[in-house]
Amino acid sequence: MHHIQRLAADILGRIEAGTTLTDALADAQRQQEQLTPAERGALQDLSYGSLRHLGVLRHCLRQLVPRPLPEPQLERLLLVALYQLQHTRAAPYAVVNEAVTSASGIARGKFKGLVNGALRNFLRRRDEILDAAARDDVAAANHPDWWVARLREAYPQQWQAVLAASNAHPPLTLRVNRRDGSVAEYLAQLAAAGMEASALGNEAVQLAKPVAVRDLPGFADGAVSVQDEGAQRAAHWLDLRPGLRVLDACAAPGGKTGHMLELADVELTALDIDAARLARVGDNLQRLGLNAELRQADAARPQDWWDGRPFDRILADVPCSASGVVRRHPDIKWLRRPGDFAALGRQQAAMADALWTLLASGGKMLYATCSIFPEENCQQLESFLRRHPDAVRLKEEQLLPCERHDGFYYALLQKH
């Protein structure tokens, strides 16, 4: 167990340095080829879980060790071990012993006694320590205090429900490929495979318990894709019809790209600035048996790639804080800083302005984010409408994270 603890602590360190959890975990698993499937699953659980509950874990550690620890890696190791003691079925004695073993590799082992004492103290005083954490705002929210303050200001009635949903484990939601079969038919396939699921509407199906993607009936053949129910709304909002010329800006990893092509035979260009991420779009389309023009380019600089032919529909899925998908990416809440939003806002405005010039008269553009903060959403839209008198708002919606879906914002605009 100790090498899994150590690897999870290493991942926390990389995230503190600015690496995303997705990249840090993938790198660790790639470098540790000898890990068994069970060990890979355990590493993922420790990494995600420690970040999901980091507010409480830090508060507990401060009660156990009030002074700053001299070795950052020591603190990360203790946070991971505390997560194990609170949220896993691992035997407490094994967690403590393996943490002590891991500590032997830090500062020549001189903190082994501290690790042993702190963790055993937690086991003796667990209820008292957790009760104190529950009374602390940051610990109880498991989000930074500035994040909580912004949520309270934006959603005075819903902020607590948003925090609870953002701290929960995300559901596994699928999108049934209409070209392959119906929702009812796929639910029958799931039932035959012993998987309980329910329909959410349109093409969305949510499993009662997550399973490995490889175990989903027909996944390899394109029968279904993994996509949040909130994200599935985008393709429907665009009012697609056969023959329309469509641009999917910032298309990676390709969930919305595939959905649009499943709904209608459109002429679609999928754009992304990152070549590796664009390759994932191609992989997804290949699995689905669908085709699009893939183009590596910056959506905010159409002069570098646009052929001058207007688009009938544009999906402007702009870069954002990703604050609406924190339960899937718990590192986001700890990596983001209050100052990020000004730069993101400038980037969003520049991209929306550039894409608007590519839209045909009478065409529709969907401004979309996976954010829940107004400065990236409704406030951006109001500024855009002031800059573009030829833009008409047809409809908009702010989805907040809940049991059914993640957080998204959509605003559908038409050019007159």
pLDDT tens, residue by residue, 142-179: 999 999 999 999 999 999 999 999 999 999 999 999 99
Mean of the pLDDT values across residues 298-310? 96
What per-residue confidence (pLDDT) applies to 192?
97
User: Could you list the active site residues?
Assistant: 370
Residues 16-46 pLDDT 10s: 999 999 999 999 999 998 999 899 999 999 9
Give me the domains of the chain, ranges plus CATH numbers.
2-142 (1.10.940.10), 171-227 (3.30.70.1170), 230-415 (3.40.50.150)
Confidence of residue 2 (pLDDT cuts 50, 70, 90): low
Kindly state the helix (H) or strand (E) to which residue 85 belongs, with its residue range: helix 72-87
As to burial, measured by CB atoms within 10 angstroms (0-12 exposed, 13-18 middle, 19+ buried), residue 102 is buried
For the stretch 237-289, pLDDT in tens is 999 999 999 999 999 999 999 999 999 999 999 999 999 999 999 999 999 99
Residue 288 corresponds to which tokens in the numbers above? 């689905």
Cβ-proximal residues to 221 (8 Å cutoff; 6+ apart), any chain? 180, 287
Question: What's the rounded mean pLDDT across residues 203-232?
Answer: 96
Note the pLDDT of residue 33.
Answer: 87
Instruction: Inform me whether the pLDDT recorded for 355 exceeds 60.
Output: yes
As a whole number of Å, the end-to-end CA separation of the chain is 63
Say if residue 1's pLDDT is above 70.
no
Looking at residue 201, its pLDDT comes to 84
257 vs 1, more confident: 257
Average pLDDT, the chain: 96
In whole angstroms, what is the distance from residue 96 CA to residue 91 CA?
A: 9
pLDDT on residue 138: 85
CA dihedral 227, 8, 215, 255 (to 10 degrees): 20
* Residue 12 confidence (pLDDT) above 80: yes
Residue 368 and residue 250 in contact, taking contact as beta carbons nearer than 8 Å: no
pTM: 0.94
Look at 83-87, 106-110, 325-329, 380-384 and tell me which has the smallest mean pLDDT: 106-110
Nearest to 284 by CA among 318, 310, 248, 319: 248
